[in-house]
Amino acid sequence: MPLVSLIEMYKPANAQKYAIGQFNVNNLEFVQAALEAADEMKSPIILAASTSAIKYAGLDYLVNIVRTGSGKISAPVALHLDHGATIEDAEKCINGGFTSVMIDASHHPFEENIRITREVVKMAHPKNIAVEAELGRLGGIEDNVSVSEKDAILTDPKQAEQFVKESGCDALAVAVGTSHGAYKFKGEAKLAFDRIGDIKKRIGIPLVLHGASGVGQDLLEKAQKYGAKLPGAKGVPDEAYIKAISLGINKINIDTDLRLAWVGAVREVLANKPEEFDPRKVLGPAREAVKKVIIGKMKLFDSAGKA
Ligand code: G3H
Ligand code: 13P
Ligand code: ZN
């Protein structure tokens, strides 16, 4: 089916308390892997392109590959801008065929974050395009950090209430202890679950968990077996997704896990078959590995069977 607005996809997810996975894509194989997974799992799906993915692949290439793939399946697909840094980034995607945009002005002062987000909402809503904003700073909650330091990093529930009211955003990315990449926690994985619940009670709209990759042992072991160097990598445990969803998370962003699956599979082929030089033989198994990870997340996020 044609691409669907994330505004529409959020409604049943919020009402029925499940999360839709956001899977970052950069090229044809990632898009195919994600859409095959959505089709097989009968799951709604969000494909996301960051500004660097857009720079790498080209906005029109990405939009057209995603549209083509979406047209072949009956599960709802949204195309989302991940971490748009400026109003111009968002505008290009709003006019270019995306059905959701993130404006990440979280590094600006609070009032400026509201103003920038509101500008994007004004452009997006007449086209029924969803807007995700971010409040707080992503980062681990270290044991030796004081309460006031934690408050400076994590999303403040009261501020979130004011932010959503004044900006008009459709979804809010919250800082609750996760961070991007493969090195999320030095010790135990800790998420500020109480904050998720408190923020949800105050604002009601879908909350988004960034930096949510699991960095599973299976992915790490395979990549490392074939030469990857990832000492100390650590991610979000499976139980944390389930708890976060029960408290109000409706969108979970996964990029690192797909990259780890991809690199493990590519390294395996190159290590085991040094005579191989057909790109399809190298990238085909990687596409399958990415698809397998996405299927696992759809089951965990409870979006499987919801399409
Ligand atoms: O949030 C960051 C995403 O993982 C995208 O990363 O900017 O390297 O495409 P990227
Ligand atoms: P990970 O690096 O944990 O996959 O997070 C991705 C993300 O938040 C994209 O916005
Ligand atoms: Zn992110």
Contacts of 226 (CB under 8 A, 6+ apart): 264, 267, 268, 270, 271
Ligand sitting nearest the alpha carbon of 179: 2
Between 32-46, 83-97, 150-164, 281-295, the lowest mean confidence (pLDDT) is in 150-164
Instruction: Please indicate whether residue 95, judged by its CB atom, sits closer than 6 Å to ligand 1.
Output: no
In a domain, 307, yes or no: no
- Distance from the alpha carbon of residue 11 to the mean position of ligand 2, in angstroms: 23
Query: What total of structural domains would you count in the chain?
Result: 1
Domain membership of residue 306 (yes or no) is: no
Atom of ligand 2 nearest to the CA of 209: 8
Catalytic site includes residue 82: yes
pLDDT of residue 304: 98
> Is position 161 within any domain?
yes
Q: Which atom of ligand 1 is nearest to the CA of 53?
A: 9
Could you tell me the pTM of the whole model? Answer: 0.98
Question: Ligand 1: does its nearest atom lie under 6 Å from the Cβ of 53?
Answer: yes
pLDDT of residue 140: 76
Ligand 2 geometric centre to CA of 120 (Å): 22
Can you give the pLDDT at residue 142? 72
Q: Could you report the per-residue pLDDT of 248-261, keeping only the tens digit for each?
A: 999 999 999 999 99
Mean pLDDT for the chain overall: 97
3-state secondary structure of 209: strand
Q: Is 50 helix (H, G, I), strand (E, B) or coil?
A: strand
Mean pLDDT to the nearest integer, 21-33:
98
By percentage, how much of the chain surpasses pLDDT 70? 99
Beta strand pairing status for 171-174 and 130-135? parallel
Contact 267, 217 (CB under 8 A): no
Query: How far does CA 116 lie from the centroid of its chain?
Result: 21
> Exposed, middle or buried, 126 (CB in 10 Å: 0-12/13-18/19+)?
exposed
Question: Residue 214's domain is classified under what CATH number?
Answer: 3.20.20.70
pLDDT band at 50 (very low <50, low <70, confident <90, very high): very high
Query: In a 10 Å sphere around its CB, with 0-12 CB exposed, 13-18 middle and 19+ buried, how is residue 40 labelled?
Result: middle
Residue 1 lies in a domain: no
Q: At which residue do the structure tokens 């270019």 appear? A: 96
pLDDT in tens, 272-306: 999 999 999 999 999 999 999 999 999 999 999 99
Residue 42 located in a structural domain:
yes
Count of Cβ atoms closer than 10 Å to residue 131 Cβ:
27
Owning domain of residue 70:
6-301
pLDDT at 114 over 80: yes
pLDDT digits (tens, 9 = 90+) for 176-235: 999 999 999 999 999 999 999 999 999 999 999 999 999 999 999 999 999 999 999 999
Q: Which one-letter amino acid corresponds to residue 80?
A: H
* Pocket lining: 56 vs ligand 1, CB cutoff 6 Å: no
Ligand 1 mutation target, pool 23, 215, 255, 262, most atoms within 8 A of CB: 255
Contact predicate 35/264, CB 8 Å? no
Query: What distance in Å separates the CA atoms of residue 139 and residue 240, rounded to the nearest whole number?
Result: 16
| Encoded amino acid at 186, one letter | K
Catalytic residue among 82, 104, 198, 255: 82
In this model, does residue 143 exceed pLDDT 90? no
208 CB within 6 A, ligand 2: no
Q: Exposed, middle or buried, 202 (CB in 10 Å: 0-12/13-18/19+)? A: middle
Mention every residue, 6+ apart, whose C-beta is less than 8 A from residue 2.
67, 70, 71
Fill in the DSSP letter of residue 234: B
